[in-house]
Structure 1
Amino acid sequence: MAPPVELFHANPSLPYQAQVSLKGNKRKDFDGDLKKCELLEMLQYDCEVDQPDKRNSPVRCWPLERFFRRCRDREGTFMVETTSWEGEKEKKSARLKGRSTE
């Protein structure tokens, strides 16, 4: 069973939250700058059966793009999910360029 995970809003507290280890201690040799960490991407799918009570009902799936940053501190590497954080940056960038992300 996975350990409990603390939920928090990604902007602007994600870089601050990334500085705290699972033990609740401040990470050593990590300043919270997630931009310095390696960006990783994973594609997952969210699927639904149209009519679950009927046999051979079509299944529809939608791609979900998720982003992670692989960072390093004195203890080794750790991962931070940055999906909503990266998405906010993408939306801001698109607005500045006059494009829509919706």
Structure 2
Amino acid sequence: KNNYDDLEDDFYRAYGLLTNARKMTVDEAMKLLSLIKLGSEMGITPMVKGKNIYQLMIWIQPNNISTIDTELSPKDRDKKRAEIIRRELLR
């Protein structure tokens, strides 16, 4: 397998996790969003072209999610984060 194949696989795996996960920590989300952003810039993940990944990275931060609902526990924030990511990437 060559490096391009490995990168392409990493990008698509990241997209699959981001669009299907039901809970996600901020660290995992940032790592995966960074991967699909790189894939988009390389022309490998066209499904995210035109989406503002940087804005999404800001929206999913714990303090920003807490402004949506101040009563969320860390576990509930992880669920809300995954919901926001799915909604934004799949629209």
Q: Which has the higher helix share?
A: 2
TM over 0.5: no
By relative contact order (CA 8 Å, sep 6+), the higher-ranking structure is: 2
State the TM-score, normalized to the length of structure 2: 0.21
Quick check: which has more Rg, 1 or 2? 1
